[in-house]
Amino acid sequence: MRVTTLAGGIGGARFIRGLQTYLQEAFNDVSITVIGNTGDDIWIHGLRVCPDLDTIMYTLGDGIDPERGWGRRDETFHAKEELQAYGVEPTWFGLGDRDIATHLVRTASLNAGYSLAEVTAALCQRWKPGVELLPMTNDRAETHVVVDSPDDPGKRIAIHFQEWWIKYRASLTAHDFAIIGIENATPAPGVLEAISEADVILLPPSNPVVSIGSILAVPGIQEALVSASAPIVGVSPIISGAPVRGMADACLTAKGIETSARAVALNYGARRSGGIVDGWLVDTSDARNVKEIEAAGIACRSVPLFMTDVPATAQMAEQAIDLARATEHAG
């Protein structure tokens, strides 16, 4: 069973952790490829930080801080305190001391000429996440957010996604997102193959705009999904009209998409109509949406979608795989 998933950070990582558990119980021969979002990467204090790749790597490699959901367990923030004491900006980014080691290794390797995919593979030699973790692209393409300037009313500016997300907690109204450089980005080696050769493709409950949306924006990836032979099933990141975690609502609103399990599914669209999903899981609390989603050509089931622990998440993953195989047989 070859499963390929696209993924953002915390939600994606936790879903894949459950997916691993389920697949290892249910199948003999399992391989999982994760295509990670690098749109929210940032160069900070001279270090290349890849928040989503690291969250996946740390979560699957048992190094994550389980409370925060990002960064390292038993973390300290002494370097960050000192950077603040030096008065160097930005001061709002949560750069942990253990985490810095990852960024030092990555940055030194990138500066030595290795690609992000090569560096990610090297870092994974330590973490052994049990999946093949691929960046969506080796190219620099960072998401920026068009907002009204907080300092200069009436003026619109584009700020880095991380500044909007962390410093402003997505409180500045986003007028649009722009992934600077994405037009010239190419999928990292292995990405298109992971899509075309998969048995099942899953979209975890990651942010549809700035996580999955960024991956889809890499020229070639959306087309590969449209034409993939494997069934594609998504898991709604929206439950009862609100994101389970994070601020996806602010992103969806900027894109003119309602914050609902239904609207996100319809925005991805049915593959039979040129979209990218064959199936969609909504939470039991959104069961009333199932018929409307199915009417749009997307097989839909309502199942419990709260990732409260690994067993609950493994059951979600089982439902996703099961729906994928059902749509396959139906199609």
Binding site for a copy of itself (CB under 8 A): 45-47, 72, 74-76, 78-83, 85-88, 97-98, 100-102, 104-105, 107-108, 111, 123, 126
Nearer to a copy of itself, 90 or 220 (CB): 90
Nearer to a copy of itself, 78 or 272 (CB): 78
Nearer to a copy of itself, 4 or 102 (CB): 102
Paired strand residues for 235: 281
Residue 318 is classified by DSSP as H
At its nearest, how many Å lie between a copy of itself and the CB of residue 142? 18
Residues 6+ apart with CB under 8 A from 3: 19, 23, 30, 31, 32, 33, 198, 199, 200, 201, 202, 321
Nearer to a copy of itself, 75 or 148 (CB): 75
Query: Do 44 and 102 form a contact (C-beta atoms < 8 A)?
Result: no
At its nearest, how many Å lie between a copy of itself and the CB of residue 60? 16
Nearer to a copy of itself, 111 or 171 (CB): 111
Is 217 in a helix, a strand, or coil?
Answer: helix
Query: Do 137 and 144 form a contact (C-beta atoms < 8 A)?
Result: no
Query: Do 321 and 22 form a contact (C-beta atoms < 8 A)?
Result: yes
Q: Which amino acid type is present at position 79?
A: A
Using CA atoms, how far residue 240 sits from 90, 220, 302, in Å, is: 36, 33, 12
Q: What are phi and psi of 137, to 5 degrees?
A: -155, 155
Nearer to a copy of itself, 110 or 287 (CB): 110
The residue behind tokens 């997102």 is: 177
At its nearest, how many Å lie between a copy of itself and the CB of residue 322? 38
Paired strand residues for 148: 156
Nearer to a copy of itself, 15 or 127 (CB): 127
Q: Report the Cα 172 to chain-centroid distance in Å.
A: 22
CA gap 3, 317 in Å, rounded: 11
At its nearest, how many Å lie between a copy of itself and the CB of residue 267? 40
At its nearest, how many Å lie between a copy of itself and the CB of residue 59? 17
At its nearest, how many Å lie between a copy of itself and the CB of residue 188? 21
Is 209 in a helix, a strand, or coil?
Answer: coil
At its nearest, how many Å lie between a copy of itself and the CB of residue 130? 18
